[in-house]
Amino acid sequence: MSKPVLRFAPSPNGALHLGHALSALFSHDMARAMGARFLIRIEDIDIARCRAEYEARMLSDLAWLGLEWEQPVRRQSEHFETYEQSLRKLDAMGLLYPCFASRKEIAAHATPGQIDPDGAPLYPGLHKNLTQEEVQRRRDAGEPFALRLDMEKAIALARGQSGKALTFDELDPESGNIETGAADPARWGDAVIARKEAPASYHLCVVVDDALQGITHVTRGRDLYAATDIHRLLQTLLGLPEPRYTHHRLILDASGRKLSKSHKDKALSSLRAEGVSPADVRRMAGLSRKFRRSFRS
C-alpha cells in the first residue's frame, strides 16, 4: 500500500509566527508518526500580498524548526492554468455566476455579525439574478467581477452525483478515532471560486492541489474547519478523492484572538534572533511531546 501524504501549506504574505510553528510541527510530527510523506505547498495566489522574500524566510524558519520536506515545493502561482481547467468544469456545469459587487457594497447589504469562512461578511446574494443583458453591459464596461458558486444548485448537483449527503471524516491523532460529521456548505452562501484579481480562489486551489499531490490527510487549524464544508462540496463536484481531516487547536493571545500575520504577532525569526531554540518553540506552542504512538488511519 502506498504511504499516506501530509502537507503544510503556508501563504507567504508575512512572517511565520508561533501559530504557524504549531501547525507546521503538528503536521510534520503526525506525518512522522504515521510513516507518511510530508510536503510543503506555497499558497501564493494572492500575488498582490505574497512575496518571494517572505517565502524564502518561511522555508528557512521551517528548516530551522527541524522540518524536512520533499522537493520540489509546489508554488500555486505557477499553476493558474490548472485551476482554470477546474474553473471551466464548474462553469460548464452552470454553477458559476459573475458578481460585480465591491466589498463595500457587500458589507452594506450583509447581516452584521455573519461572517463566511474567508472572514468576509456573509454574501447576501447580490448580483445572483442579474439579467444576461446587465451582465453583458457591465462586462463590456470593463467592470471587475468575481465568480461565485451558485450554492443551492451546486449542492443539488452534488447530491445527485453522489446520491448521499455530504460528510467529512475528522481524525483525532491522539486517540486514532475518526468521527464522520455532516458538511453543510449551504450556510456559507455563494462562495467566491475565482477572484477579481486571480482566476482562482483559496477554496478551488486547495482542493485541486490536495488531489493532485495525493494528500491523504489534511492537517490545519480549527480556523479552517468551516471551509471544509465548501471543500467537500467542490471535491464531490470535481470528482476528486476525499482526504481525511485533522483540525488542530489554535494559539490565542491574551484577548482570545488568533495570532495573525496582519496583527504583527511576534515573528519566528525575531524569537530566533532573541536566542529562542526550536525546542523552546515547541514548548511555547504546547507541543513539547511528539506524537508517541504510531497510528494507522
Binder to ligand GLU among 154, 206, 230, 281 (CB under 6 A)? Answer: 206
* Nearer to ligand GLU (CB atom), residue 153 or residue 195: 195
- Among 178, 151, 180, smallest CA distance to 166 is for 180
Q: Which stretch binds ligand GLU (CB under 6 A): 3-11, 49-57, 147-155, 181-189?
A: 3-11
Cα–Cα distance between 158 and 166 in angstroms, integer?
A: 8
- In the shown chain, the binding pattern of residues 215 to 254 toward ligand GLU, with x for contact by CB under 6 A and - for none, equals -----x---x------------------------------
**Amino acid in position 121:** P
Q: Which stretch binds ligand GLU (CB under 6 A): 5-13, 93-101, 143-151, 267-275?
A: 5-13
- In the shown chain, the binding pattern of residues 24 to 53 toward ligand GLU, with x for contact by CB under 6 A and - for none, equals -------------------x----------
* Nearer to ligand GLU (CB atom), residue 31 or residue 206: 206
Cα–Cα distance between 121 and 111 in angstroms, integer?
A: 8
* Nearer to ligand GLU (CB atom), residue 37 or residue 220: 220
- Please give the grid coordinates belonging to residue 218: 489534511
- Please give the grid coordinates belonging to residue 295: 497510528
Binder to ligand GLU among 4, 5, 6, 10 (CB under 6 A)? Answer: 10
Q: Does 189 bind ligand GLU (CB under 6 A)?
A: no
Shortest Cβ 190–ligand GLU spacing (Å): 21
# binding residues, ligand GLU (CB under 6 A): 7
* Nearer to ligand GLU (CB atom), residue 43 or residue 190: 43
Shortest Cβ 40–ligand GLU spacing (Å): 11
- Please give the grid coordinates belonging to residue 128: 445572483
Q: Does 76 bind ligand GLU (CB under 6 A)?
A: no
Q: Does 9 bind ligand GLU (CB under 6 A)?
A: yes
- Please give the grid coordinates belonging to residue 276: 529562542
- Please give the grid coordinates belonging to residue 86: 477546474
